[in-house]
Structure formats: C-alpha cells, structure tokens
Structure 1
Amino acid sequence: MKLLRSFLSFFLGFLLIFFAPSAMARFAVEKNSLTVTSPENIKGTHDSAIGNFGIPQYGGTMAGNVVFPKDNQKGCKEFDEFGISFKSKPGALPFIVLLDRGNCFFALKVWNAQKAGASAVLVADDIDENLITMDTPEEDGSAAKYIENITIPSALVEKSFGEKLKNAIRGGDMVNVNLDWREAVPHPDARVEYELWTNSNDECGVKCDMLMEFLKDFKGAAQILEKGGYTQFTPHYITWYCPQAFTLSKQCKSQCINHGRYCAPDPEQDFSSGYDGKDVVVENLRQLCVFKVANETKKPWVWWDYVTDFQIRCPMKEKKYNKECADAVINSLGLDLKKIERCMGDPNADSENLVLKEEQDAQIGKGSRGDVTILPTLVVNNRQYRGKLEKGAVAKAICSGFEETTEPAVCLSSDVETNECLNNNGGCWQDKAANITACKDTFRGRLCECPLLDGVQFKGDGYTTCEASGPGRCKINNGGCWHEAQNGHAFTACSDNGKVKCQCPAGFKGDGVKSCEDIDECEEKKACQCPECSCKNTWGSYNCSCSGDLLYIKDHDTCISKTASQQGKSAWAALWIIFVGLVVATGGAYLVYKYRIRSYMDSEIRAIMAQYMPLDSQEGVVNHVNEERA
C-alpha cells in the first residue's frame, strides 16, 4: 500500500513537472503604480506587484503615510503582542504598512497588519530580483480562514526601493505615497472583455468551494452586463496532456480522454475510488459546448444558469456528477442537447478535439497576458486579475475596464461598489457624535466633500474641517453646543442670530459648549421669599409652594388664604345683588313717576280746554256749522 501511494505521489509530481503548462509558463506580474510624494530625495514613481489576495482597488487610488514598525518587522506575529496599532486618527491619512519579506506567508503578513488597522501593505523583497506576484499559500485549513477575510490591498516592492523607504522613515521623514490602480486594467473601448478560467470539479477543497460560491453570487451581475452588451464573457478550462510514453498507462487512461491528449487531476487524488480525472475533462468539455451553443442562439449568459444549476443538482458528493444529470439541466434550460453532443465529439477517439485544442492553445499567454497556470484565473481586458474571487471585488475590477463616465448603471450600484468610507472614514472629516461625515463613496474612489444635511451646508476642506453655515445650524448637533434631555425636558445652549452662539439657557450656568449646570434658584436667586413659602429646585427651574391652606401667587411672591378668598368672592356677590336691586327699584320708580305726571297733565289740559269750547260729550252746547251765505 505504501509503495502504491509513493508511486501515485511520484506520478502526480511527474504530471505537474512534465506536462503541466506551468513548467515552462510565462507568468505575467500585474502591476500598479506607486508614487512617492515626500520626502524630496525619494520622490517619484515606482512599480509594485499586486498581491494575489485581498481586494485591489481597481479603478481607484489611495493616499497614505508609510510606516515601518520597530518590532515584528516581518509581520509574522500579531501586532497586538507588541502593542502596535496602525489605526489612523479621524482626519488623518491612512497608514500603509511596510513589512519585510520572509519567515511566513505573504497573506499572513497582510492579515496581521489588517487586524492592526492598516489600510494597505507593502512588502519589501529580501533579494534583488524582478517583481513577483505574492500568492496565497497552498491549500491549508487554518490559512483559508484568514485569506478569505483579507480586504485590504497589498503589493510587493523591489528590495532597493524598500530600503529607500525604510531609510527615510528611520531618518524621521514623513513618507507619503499614492497607490494608483486606475491603469491596472486597460479600457480600450466601450466594452469589457473578460475570461474566467475555471473547472467543473467541486471536490478540490477550499478553492473549489470559493469558485462555486463566486459563480452563484456573480451570476446576476454577469448576466446583466452581458445582456446589456456591456461585456463579452468567455469561459475557459485548463487541461494537460499525458506524455506519449504513458498514454497506455492506467493512470493516464483514468485521467485523460482522446488517448492522453486532454487530462485533469483525479478529484479525490485517489485513483482507486470516486470520480476520475477524465470525468472532469468530459464535464469541462460539456460546459464549453453549452457556452458555444448558447452563444450561437445569442444568449451566452445561459452558461451561468447551467454551471450554477449543475453545481446544485449534480454534485460529486451525491454521486450525481454524470451525463444523465447534466442532460436534465440542459433540457430544463431549453438548450439543444443534440448540438451540444455534436460539439463534444467522441472522447474515446484517437484524434484531436477541436474545442479542447483551442483551450490548450488559449492557455499560452498573448501580448501582456501571461500563461494561465492557476485555477481559478480571471482575465479582464487581457490582464490577469489579482485579488479576491468575490462578487464585489471582481465586478469592480471589470467595471474599471470601462472608460470613466461610460460605466453601465450596474457598475454604480451597491452590488458593485465597495464602500471605502467604512475604513477609517476614508481619511475624511467626521463628527461621530452627530454621525456626520464628509466621506462620499463612489465607484472611482472616495471623495472628502463637506455634506449638505437637513438644508444646512457644511463648508471646509472635507479632510480636517467642515463647519455648518447658514440658518438652521442649531439643528445640526445643536451647533456644537451643549444639549441635554431629562425626564421629557430638553435644553440646548445653541442660539443662532446670524451667528451660532453657545450660551447656557435660563436656569443653567456654564460655558455653553461642554457643559451647562443647573442653577439652584432656591439658594442662588433666593426665590420664594415670603414667610409662608417653601422652595424646591428642579432641573432648569424651581417650584414654590405655601404651607397649610394657602395658595402661592407667583407674580407677587406671596401666599393667600383659600378661605378668605372664598369669603371675598361671596361678599362681592352680595354687593352685586344689592346693586342690581337698587338699579331695578330706581327704574320702577321712574316709570311710576312718569305715568302719574302724564295722567295729571292730561286732566289739567282737558279742564282748560273745556272753558273755551264745549266738548262733544257735554249737553246744551250748540253745534257750530260753517254756512255759506247768499
């Protein structure tokens, strides 16, 4: 058994050495620009190699202060053990940590620096050589836990340049640099071309799990971009060939199709059980043909539906990774199964498969793109992507391939945008108490711009200062003045009469900015001075009360009897009744008097008139008639 395992290990190593393309591969190092802005003696632009993990800020820039720790200079231990923190203060530039290469994985160095608050990491090479790409460690359970959580960018710099940075820092200079990823992905036209070099195998451990999760998460954004004509996507699959001397061996027969021309490693790395490498090659070929047939029908995005559905419905763990399950997925998507089978050809034929031959040719680097040697690999506008295979990070890298201002709407959505303001507030001004910030996140990077809030415009440089201007300033964090609420009562020291003034309100004393203390009116103002009064201080005011059956009259600072008050009210009522009675009696007497006078005058007038003319009612009086005489 040991002999068999030794042979298998030797054979796998032989495959990697002799017919994996990495043996003679031309690996392209993707770079970003690093510009030193101070001090003067090292000012200038330098290259740095983007790390193959974390989230490079494709399409964006970052400015920061470079620091080189006095202890733990290789970053292989947690910086907490040395009491070191790289968290920058509000309003200050973020810290970019410089570390030495050696003793531990690149990714571990970056992870330790990130936990200590670093915004980015530069690793100085320890030998004079051309720049290389810092890669993730080989599959390791403990490493996988932190690799997937690295979110800051990192890059390797040459040894000589690293020494210049360290010497400047040791000499007491402030070293400021700008990291620029805007040209890391070229944007030659209005459409972005990108490729994903992948594998249908779902049993290769952490990397397979990461790939399957990415395909599922990125599917929606990929289909939107493709349907809108914004991108041209092409999937690719890596295969190797078996050396001619071994084509008839059991190992090559189990790992290859077409007589050793196209091979893939055993999924379980165990030739005696489970699926074989040739099963993976056949499914890879099927997925390529699904894309070709879907592309012929002008629906290339259906590939994303197939691979995600196949992943869910046909996993190796459930022993469903086979043609029968794949055909069911193809039929459910409405694709022409016969066309796909014709595209795949005969896996047992001793001849070239045109589809897989094209794939092997495509693995070889062209132009600025190096050979594809790592799975998975993403290539955007012919540049290999460096960073985390995660939806937001990949979408941002693809979107950075568009000319500025030509990005489709999906590139500006929250699904794509990574919020740089979450890290140290983007180095912008902020008022934590009022939850106000000058940091504005955009696809191209964060802006430090004083905000407009509730109709109040803040003014300043956005980095260190922002002050409210115009009316309504007391609404914004009470104008920076003291304010407090207790028991349902709120007070503020802010007043705005053309200019904000912090002055403690009535009932309080203090500077009006940091504090206002309640005044004890009972002691300091000598309130409630009447003999029967008692005073009780309250927050911002006071209350006076009277002893016994007395009422307090605040305006006169005096106490009166409740009984006396009621008697007084009764006396006033009695006076009103008497007064009304007198008025009524006087009115009645006047009416009687007026009637009697009138009657008396009437009788006197009648008597006087009777002396001069008879009345109709008197007897013996001749009636006088006016006659007209002739």
Structure 2
Amino acid sequence: MTMRTRQSVFWCVWVFLWGSCVARFVVEKNNLRITSPKSLRGIYECAIGNFGVPKYGGTMIGSVLYPKSNQNGCKSFDSSLSSKPGTFPTFVLIDRGDCFFTLKAWNAQKGGAAAILVADDRIEPLITMDTPEEGNGASNDDYIEKISIPSALISKSLGDSIKKALSGGAMVNVNLDWREALPHPDERVEYEFWTSSNDECGPKCESEINFVKSFKGSAQLLEQKGYAKFTPHYITWYCPETFILSQQCKSQCINNGRYCAPDPELDFSKGYSGRDVVVQNLRQACFFKVANESGKPWQWWDYVTDFSIRCPMRQNKYTEECSDQVIKSLGVDLKKVKDCVGDPSANVDNPVLNAEQDAQIGNGDRGDVTILPTLIINNRQYRGKLSRAAVLKAICSGFQETTEPSICLSPDIETNECLQNNGGCWQDTAANITACRDTFRGRVCECPIVQNVQFVGDGYTHCEATGSLRCAINNGGCWKETQGSRSFSACIDDHTKGCKCPPGFRGDGVHSCKDVDECKEKTACQCSECQCKNTWGSYECTCSDGLFYARDNDMCIGKYAATVAGGGIVWLVILILAVAGAGGYAFYKYRIRKYMDSEIRAIMAQYMPLDNQPEVSSQAHHEDV
C-alpha cells in the first residue's frame, strides 16, 4: 500500500470519527430461509445487527408476527409478543425509521419476541444496523447492553412480501441460519481485537473494559492450549500535513503527526490528550510484541486488565510510571517494551504503529476497520454484543467440525444434541458406547475409538469393533454366556472382525450360540460300548465293562491299553531315567572303582611291602627319600 493511499484512508477515519465519511465497510450477513408459505419458500440474505446476540454457528426457527399497531417498534408493545405453548417462537417484523434500531430491538425483547426482523423502508443494498453514535444522548441509555435477542435487517421487497402473506392469513415460518456466517476452515481460530486504552468514552469504554476482564480467562485458555491465535490492534491515523502545526494535531498526535487518536474528553483544555492515548496504545502493542516473542502472548490480557484497574484516567493514574509498575509486576522485560515504544517526539516512523495502520486496511471480505471496538474472527468482522458468552460462541463457530475445544461444548455455550434420542446415531447401551459426537453446530454420527479399539460402520445403524483388542470392549459385540463355572465366547482375538461360535455351539455368533447335542446328532461317542451324555458346550462319554474311553479316537479300550495310551510317555521317561541310573552305577563300580583301588595300592606299597612285590634295600630307600 502506498503512503498516499494510507493517508487518504486515515484522513477518512479522522472525518468518520468527527463527522461522516464513506469507508469500505463490509456488511456481515446470514441466511434467512422461509419454509412456508410455499409462495415465499426460499433462502434470502439478511444483515446481522451490531447489537444483541447473533446465534453464530447455529439456527433459530420462528413464526413471523407483524403487529397491528406500533409497527415501527419505537414504543413498548401493549400486548405480549410471546409465543403460545407448542408453537414456534415469535419473530416480530418491525418497520425501519423514526427511532434507533437498538430501541426497536429492546422494545421487541421486552414484549417477549425471540428475534426481530427490521424491514428496510427504501430500496437499497443491505446495511448494518449499528448502535447510536456517541454524543447524541441515546447512547447513555443502559438498555443497549441488555439486548440479547438476535436482529436482522431484511430488504424492503422481502418485507413487503411477508406483510402481504400475513395479511392474507398465511403463516410465515422462518429459519434464521448463522452456521456459515463466519468461516470455519480448520482446527484453529485466528481472531483480532481492535481496541483502545482510552477509558473515558462513556458506556462503550466501560463495556469494552468489562469484556476484557470477563473474557480474559477464556482467551488465555484458548491461547495456551493452541486452539486460537489472538492479536490485539489499535486504530491510529495520520494528521494531514497542512494541519501538523495545529493545536488539534499537536494535542492528539505523536511522531510529528504520524499517529493520532481523539481527545478522551473531546476537550483540549482539560484532562488527558489524544497524544497520551496514542502513547499508551503503543505501549500495549509493544507489550504484546515482547510477550509474544517470549512465548506468552496471553499475558496481554493480564496487562490490559491490570492497567485498567490500577491506572484509570478518572484517578489521574493514566501515566507511564503506573504502566511501568504493571509491566514489572508481570515479569515482562520493561527495557524491551521501552525500546519498542521509542521516542514519541521524534520525527521518525514507528514500525509497530506503521504495521497497525497497514492492518486497518481491509483485505478480502473483511473491510476496513473504522470504529472501536471491532472484533475480527477468521478475517471476518464480528457483529453483535461484546460479551463473553456472545463472543465465545462466535469464536467456537470458527472451528472446523469436531475440532472444537471442550470449552465450546459446555452447556452454557451450546446444546448437546446427543442427549436427545442419541442424536439418531448408533449406540450400544449395554457397553455405554455411542457413535454420536457432539459439535458446536450440532452433531456427527461416526463410529468411535474406545480403549484403542476402532469401531467401523456407517455410524447411524451399525458400528463394529475391529482389531486384536476388540474382545476387551463389550466382547467385540459377539455372543458370550456363562453357566455355572463355564464361560464361552464367540469373539476370537485373532479375527479382525466378525463373530464365530466356539466348538460345541452353533449360531450367528452375534445374537446367539446354541449348544450342539453331540449325542443326538451322533457326532461323538458312537462306539458299541459307549454311553453318551450331552453337556453345555460339550459331552461326556463312558464305557461299559470297565473299559476306558479314548476321546481322541472316539473308542473304548482296555484298562492296560488305556494306561499305556494315557500314561505311556510318563512311563517311558521313568524307564529312561532308570536305565541311565543303572548305567551310571555300573560305570562307577567297574571303571572308577578299579582305578581308585590301583591308586590306593600304589600309595600303600611305598610304606609297606606287599606280598607280590620285592623288598627294597634300606640304602636305596634312604636315597629315594
């Protein structure tokens, strides 16, 4: 972007904040589906209001009501707009004009409406319904922050068509759909918060500070777990070169008019100046830069929260010294922060604020950032109330299906559709296993992984355990039964899937395996001397005349043969050991014993003559010794 382009854009921002200006503002939209009457059935676009709570990631079904009186909604409704039991919630249709959009929504909400549809009063592209501008008195009303119903602006032609259908006695049923209002491409949400350290701009500033305090815990959790990437931003603009020496630019700008912010009280003669705001905004941006480089970007939330508590403007503590104390208490390198801030009086560019000004220019579907505060989620501008619950819902809608963190699936954020009729998915109630997986937008039916065992199937009517460990989970979905001390199973660990009845049983292996009567079917114990008795899963066979039944050969044999057949191996081992023992004894007696005898005789011969040896002379004996 060229310098001239950037200067022209931020001159536009300057004018926008002080008067009016046409900026590249993007209207965020959602879908409106009419399901009846048939003549209006179809999908239409509507513009999301910049107040209330849009149901990002979800839908709402309602029946349209066009009141007979107070059709512009500028007064409280005399009769209730609440729906009757058993009917759809009421979506009240209100005409544009005569009062602020927020007042229309507030009156509709007090009347019991579940949502408000505002019909445009002129033929034009859809616009964003915004809150009242500062300084007109209406923004001081506290009802704006209490608006919780969603709102949508519809075109004049659609509004006229709905009114005509209602006047003809037709029931107009509508589905407001925000499921695709924000992109949800992957498992991480990237979001930006355009804010300011100024805390003296009335209810909007108070709302912004309260949001930061309440959202801090959720933001830090998402960041620390790697679910989200957050970046704070600050709006500044150039002072036109012609006015650099004016009191306005000197009071509201730093670095020779390069970076400016409005005076907090809009009064140059008292309180803090816009210059003070720019410097503190720069310190907050630099704090984030230093914390991010140290791997702890979530500390920004601690700094901004603590600064708003310890250093407010109304207590005259909005100073550099107070800011330094907060930075030190958080353990962040203060020198690096100061080096990043630089000299606000120098006639030089500041790279951090230059980057902030470049980021204000819209890209893709985002549009320019021209107002504060602005929240951008996955490069799309958020519309609606700046509250923890509303913003968290919007962020949760930015995750790809089934990748949402657990914080997005809590009861206060979304409805668990698996709790009703198991979401229409397969389940095994006995093993407490289900294919229903709750998501922020609804649910998906997919066969689960339980204790490292993968289930396969369509997820709706069938899931089956696979793999070598499958028998540990609900016996692999196979038949299993115990009678007395005996248990049989149709699940075999060697099989990757399927069930097979064990020997002695017959059946499908899943629902049942019935005992086979081997005696009746004559598959065993059929010899003439055999008496067969069926047992559960097996049989017993006995022989007459004291014979022994050989199960492997299915025959009766004599006791001696049975003994040989049954214990032949044992006797053979005993026989081998006996022969080895006898051989060892013979070897000892005839070989080792003979050798030992000859040695003993030789030793004894040296001390006493033996009968069969000649005598040796004493001289010879002495010499030997």
TM-score using structure 1 length: 0.63
Alpha carbons of 1:330 and 1:415: their partners in 2 closer, same or farther (altered >3 Å)? farther
Distance 2:392 2:71 in 1: 34
Q: Do 1:51 and 1:133's aligned partners in 2 also have CA atoms closer than 8 Å?
A: yes
**Aligned AA (2:28):** E
Q: Which residue does the alignment assign to 2:205?
A: 208
Q: Distance in 2 between matches of 1:414 and 1:144?
A: 31
Work out which of the residue numbers 97, 103, 107 in structure 2 matches 1:108. 103
Whether 1:277 aligns to 2:289 is: no
- Equivalent in the alignment of 2:382: 385
For residue 304 of structure 2, the aligned residue among 267, 291, 307 is 307
- Residues 1:235 and 2:232 aligned together: yes
Question: CA 1:110–1:195 in structure 2 vs 1: closer, same or farther (change >3 Å)?
Answer: same
Q: Is 2:133–2:139's contact at 8 Å kept on the other side of the alignment?
A: no
Alignment-derived partner of residue 334 in structure 1:
331
Q: Hey, what's the Cα distance between the residues in 2 that align with 1:191 and 1:219?
A: 18
2:448 matched residue in structure 1: none
Contact 2:284 2:300 in 1 (8 A): yes
Cα gap change, 1:20/1:419 in structure 2, threshold over 3 Å: closer, same or farther? farther
Q: CA deviation at 1:324?
A: 0.5
Q: Determine the C-alpha separation between the residues in 2 that align with 1:305 and 1:177.
A: 43
Structure 2 counterparts to residues 238-249 of structure 1, below 5 A? 238-249=235-246
1:79-106 residue CA offsets vs partner (Å, 9 max, x unmatched):
12xxx22111222110111111010111
Equivalent position of 1:57 in the other structure:
55
Contact 2:401 2:440 in 1 (8 A): no
Aligned to 2:24: 26
**CA deviations over 1:500-523 (Å, ceiling 9, x no partner):** xxxxxxxxxxxxxxxxxxxxxxxx
How far apart in 1 are the matches of 2:211 and 2:183? 24
Specify which of 186, 197, 211 is matched with residue 183 of structure 2.
186
CA RMSD of aligned residues (A): 2.3
Pair 1:281–1:419, CA change in 2 (3 A): farther
| Alpha-carbon separation, structure 2, partners of 1:387 and 1:87 | 23
Look up the SS of the partner of 1:32 in the other structure: strand
Task: Please show how residues 91-490 of structure 1 align to structure 2 within 5 Å.
Answer: 91-139=86-134, 140=137, 144-414=141-411, 416-417=413-414, 443-444=440-441
Give how far 1:14 is off: 10
Distance 1:127 1:419, change over 3 A: farther
Contact in 2 for aligned 1:195/1:380 (Cα 8 Å): yes
1:562-573 matches, cutoff 5 A: none
Q: 1:46 aligns with which of 44, 56, 71?
A: 44
Counterpart CA distance in 1 for 2:72 and 2:288 is 46
Deviation of residue 443 (structure 1)? 4.5
Rg (Cα) greater in structure: 1
Q: Which string of whole-angstrom CA distances, capped at 9 and with x for unpartnered residues, describes residues 349-386 of structure 1? A: 11211111111111111100011111000000111110
Task: Provide, for residues 294-326 of structure 1, a one-character-per-residue CA deviation record: whole Å limited to 9, x for no partner.
Answer: 000111000000000000111111111111010
The aligned residue for residue 74 of structure 2 is: 76
In structure 1, distance between residues paired with 2:217 and 2:36? 44
- Quote the offset at 1:404 in angstroms: 2.2
How far did 1:42 drift?
1.1
Residues 375 and 233 from structure 1, CA distance in 2 versus in 1: closer, same or farther, beyond 3 angstroms? same
Shift in Å, 1:288: 0.3
CA contact (8 A) 1:187 1:401 kept: yes
> Equivalents in 2 of 1:276, 1:194: separation in Å?
30
Aligned CA distance change for structure 1 residues 398 and 22 (closer, same or farther; 3 Å): farther
State the alpha-carbon separation in 1 of the partners of residues 139 and 234 from structure 2: 28
Contact 1:15 1:242 in 2 (8 A): no
The answer as to whether partners of 2:13 and 2:21 remain within 8 angstroms in 1 is no
SS of the residue 1:401 aligns to: coil
Q: Secondary structure at the match of 1:148?
A: helix
In structure 2, relative to structure 1, the CA distance for the partners of 1:409 and 1:323 (3 Å cut) is same
CA distance in 1, matches of 2:280, 2:376: 22
Structure 1: stretches of 5+ with no match in the other structure = 1-12, 421-440, 447-630
Deviations 1:540-585 (A, max 9, x none): xxxxxxxxxxxxxxxxxxxxxxxxxxxxxxxxxxxxxxxxxxxxxx
2:12–2:23 contact (8 Å) kept in structure 1: no
Contact (CA 8 Å) 1:19, 1:243: kept in 2 or not? no
Q: In structure 2, what is the Cα distance between the partners aligned to 1:15 and 1:230?
A: 33
Distance (Å, rounded) in 2 between the aligned partners of 1:346 and 1:75? 53
Go from structure 1 to structure 2 and tell me whether the alpha carbon gap of 1:415 and 1:68 turns closer, same or farther (over 3 Å shift): closer
Alignment check: 8 A CA contact 2:255 2:344 kept = yes
Instruction: Write the deviation string for residues 392-424 of structure 1: whole angstroms up to 9, x where unpaired.
Output: 00011001101222110111235645999xxxx
- Normalization by structure 2: what TM-score? 0.64
AA partner of residue 115 (structure 1): K
**Match of 1:45, SS?**
strand
Query: What is the deviation of 1:445?
Result: 6.9
Alignment of structure 1 residues 523-602 onto 2, 5 Å: none
Change (3 A) 1:18 1:379: closer
What is the CA distance between 1:138 and its match in structure 2? 2.1
Counterpart CA distance in 1 for 2:69 and 2:394 is: 35
For 2:17 and 2:412, locate their aligned partners in 1 and report how far apart those are by CA, in whole Å.
40
CA shift for structure 1 position 171? 0.8
User: Residue 23 of structure 1: SS of its match in structure 2?
Assistant: coil
Q: Structure 1 residues 229 and 27 mapped into 2: Cα distance closer, same or farther (>3 Å)?
A: same
| CA 178–15 in structure 1, closer or farther in 2 if over 3 Å, else same | closer
Taking only the aligned residue pairs, the percentage that are identical comes to 68
Local SS of the residue matching 1:27: coil
Going from structure 1 to structure 2, the CA distance change for 1:418 and 1:149 (only over 3 Å counts) comes to farther
**Equivalent position of 2:486 in the other structure:** none
Question: How far did 1:25 drift?
Answer: 1.4
Give the match's secondary structure for 1:278: helix
Structure-1 separation of matches of 2:12 and 2:178: 39
Partners of 2:291 and 2:299 within 8 A in 1: yes
Structure 2 Cα separation of the partners of residues 19 and 209 of structure 1: 19
Amino acid at match of 1:204: C
| Alignment-mate amino acid for residue 94 of structure 1 | P
